[in-house]
Amino acid sequence: MLMTGPAIWLSAAAIWDHDVEDAKAEAALVREQAIVSRARGNQLHWVKSMLRRSSAAWLGYGNPVDLVASRMDVHRSTARDMVYLARRLDDSQIERIRQGEVSYVRVLEETRLREAGASPEEVARTRDLDLDSVGRVVQQMRKITREDERRIFEGQYVAFQPSLDGSHVRMNGRLGSFEAEICREALNRRGETLVPSGEERPDAGQRRALALTTLCQDELDQHPMAAPVAEPAGPSPRSRREPLLMVVARNPLAEASGFEQGVSVLAGGRVGPDTVDLIQCSGRIESITVTGQDITRHGSTSTIRPGLRRAVLARDEGCTIDGCSSSYRLEVHHILERSRGGNNSPENLTTLCWWHHHVAVHRRGMRIDPQSPPRRRRLLPDRPSCGYRPPPPDPYTLAALRALAKINRAPP
């Protein structure tokens, strides 16, 4: 008993010391934040007097926000907040911030809240909320005017940004809420229908991406970009034109490596070996040689002759994957890919639905078991890549390909 007493006392003291240290540190942080807030008050005072003095020309800047951002070396959003507040607060309100009676950020949020139409009681009720929550209340109260909606409509866009190596693209954009809902709903519905029964469903975002691709592909088929090529007459239910033209620099290294180096497509981006295989099945390819200053074109070829394509489609009467009943966008596929030495003989060609062709085979890397019966094809798991490591891209060839892609894209 005699031993335990002091021991407990000691550990309690240690905990107590710890708590005191933490509390001290916290108090210091709060004090420092108050200093920051008072400093903002001082800056606000300067901004307000600057706004009063030089309304005509902002000391050579286009607007006061640029002036504040540049002079105080702050983000534009901070400068915008300060100019916003300086225009709305009178001198006595700014003085209260400078004296530390109210905090700068709280005043900022409360000013926005009042502008959004909150009553003094509603403003008072938000005093217990953290600042993020006050921000959410502001969002909810803010009116959406006709002017706002029209501005959003005028500013709507969809953009495609290629990655640095050109191998993939990020899509982003802004739509009005109604227009966005139309697109989302349509892509959701279309995405639902794309996955054959029995297949594992990709997540909603992936389904929308697939849906968008097929939507655009259907549209391109109806209105081909490329000049129509005379096709021999035959039993063609609907005439299909391959929408994408790939420009391949005739490069023995690229071909020997199974195109793991990637090649350029008409749009100017670069695609990898799986896409090369896919285009060999369903696209057209134009090969060029770059020698010194000269670019020699070798003409464009559809890798599978249209007549042969139709014959294979007629022979197979639908997707040949065992158990698949989808007939959406039936396409002809090389069982042994061209890049791996496969040829265009009818025995090496088989019909696949869009899902099995684009998703299962060319994107998930499954391949058709050549031993499986022609009408009941089995899929085998991915095979390992050949292990080829690409050399650094040759900048001259890339620049030439990009320039050529631009020329090709220009309207006739």
Interface positions with Zn ion (CB under 5 A) = 281, 319, 321, 324, 326, 333, 353, 356
Residue number, 290 or 324, with CB nearest to Zn ion: 324
Min dist CB 326 to Zn ion, Å, is: 5
Query: Which residues, 6+ apart, have CB-to-CB distance to 103 below 8 Å?
Result: 33, 34, 37, 97
Count of alpha carbons within 13 Å of 98, Cβ hemisphere only? 12
- Which amino acid, one-letter code, is at 274? D
What is the chain's percent helix, strand, coil content, to nearest 5?
50, 15, 35
Give Cα 153 distance to the centre of its chain: 21
Pick from 355, 361, 356: nearest CA to 383: 361
CB of 179 or CB of 192, closer to Zn ion: 192
- What's the min distance (Å) between Cβ of 370 and Zn ion? 14
Residue 117's φ and ψ, nearest 5 degrees, are 105, 15
In the complex, the smallest distance separating the C-beta of residue 300 from Zn ion, rounded to whole angstroms, is 19
Surface-to-core class of residue 378, CB atoms within 10 Å of its CB (0-12 exposed, 13-18 middle, 19+ buried): middle
Quick one: 107 or 353, whose CB is closer to Zn ion? 353
Instruction: Pick between residue 81 and residue 274 the one whose CB is nearest to Zn ion.
Output: 274
Is 398 in a helix, a strand, or coil? helix
Least spacing, CB of residue 190 vs Zn ion, in Å: 17
Nearest to 275 by CA among 192, 349, 213: 213
Nearest distance from residue 247's CB to Zn ion, in Å?
20
The residue among 81 and 316 lying less far from Zn ion, judged by its C-beta, is 316
Name the minimum Å distance from CB 322 to Zn ion. 9
DSSP letter assigned to residue 407 = H
Of residues 82 and 281, the one with the C-beta less far from Zn ion: 281
Residue type, 59: L
In angstroms, rounded to a whole number, what is the distance separating the alpha carbons of residues 120 and 124? Answer: 6
Nearer to Zn ion, 138 or 285 (CB): 285
Sign of the Cα pseudo-torsion (299, 303, 308, 311, in order):
negative
Nearer to Zn ion, 69 or 359 (CB): 359
Nearer to Zn ion, 80 or 375 (CB): 375
Task: Compare residues 208 and 309 and give the one whose CB is closer to Zn ion.
Answer: 309
Q: Which residue bears the tokens 């640095």?
A: 164
| Neighbouring residues of 130: CB distance < 8 A, sequence distance ≥ 6 | none
Min dist CB 353 to Zn ion, Å, is 3
Nearest distance from C-beta of residue 335 to Zn ion, angstroms: 9
The CA distance from 308 to 360, in Å, is 24
- Residue 352 C-beta: closest distance to Zn ion, Å: 6
Q: Minimum Å distance from CB 323 to Zn ion?
A: 9
The count of other CB atoms within 10 Å of the CB of residue 221 is 15
8 Å CB contact between 268 and 166? yes
Q: Which residues of 100-121 are buried (b: 16+ CB within 10 A; e: fewer)?
A: eeebbbebbbbbbbbeeebeee
